[in-house]
Structure 1
């Protein structure tokens, strides 16, 4: 089933509506009234306005929506999460990862709230320079080493990989790697180019993962 972690972005004087991914956690909005959006530099009018004209105190309108999202309730059974990202598809999955980390902190501080299982991020990009938010991701892995794990999958690396990243780097995401994470209590969230999303969602369906445990967002 699809999931939505995007906002429609309405800019005065710009007729085209922007659609941008939320990459911050819901906790940031609750505590500081802030949301962070990932906006790639392109010639698309809303993105161009944000990079070239947007300034502090600029006023815009945003609209959020979507039927499917990650919002575990405190009484929900503990379950595992597998997040599969391709390229800029990391953006909504980073929001889920950050939300999971907030829930882990709440559980550690209060003993209440959702009891998470393991959270695994499989993130693919052409090379390490295109791995967005890698420092933020590794900070969470280091903060919760028994709960959060990640692997970075680079497919066209031509330069030397830094010592910091090397332990987390491997080649393409394999079918075996996906199947190794399948269990009755695991939820899969996928975001990336449509061919990648189609391939992995079909792989999971063919491996008898219930459709309600497969959530995806496609971008074009």
Structure 2
């Protein structure tokens, strides 16, 4: 039971700081604009479902895919760190982001078709906004730590699946009520939080990339 709860808690603790749905929610809101409550609920649900399956696949299959293509985990971390850092830097320096709420509100009425909602729910909202390269690298790392004994593997797999479910539940709640959060913060508060989130993304990208560089340097020193 201790191993079960340890594995179940490990996944949200590892992934939530990278997914960071509370900080990403203002960015998500600025990209979607005002939505009807029913549309916002369906969008948040689709994003959460997409993220659940993406995380499950990367945890249980990701390491095998990397081995098949001969790609090492440090390289994935370096590439992921660069992508995350560049995305955060672009948001941090893009002056048009300050006017994004108004521009999206003026050009979008919230009446998305089902096909458009399905398409946008995956790209860019599920990937790379929510589950980005850094999250994928962390998920693969969790998968590589799975025990090899069948019984232990089964227990850890179930616990990890529950952990992924809890993680995506937090994503759903944050995106579902992003509008309420935006109303609470206001335009100024939303802009400040979005800028702060962009800076955090830059820091996360540097940290992920440095972790990969450190692993490569330690391998060379052996």
**TM-score calculated relative to the size of structure 1:** 0.26
Would you tell me which structure has more helix in proportion to its own residues? Answer: 2
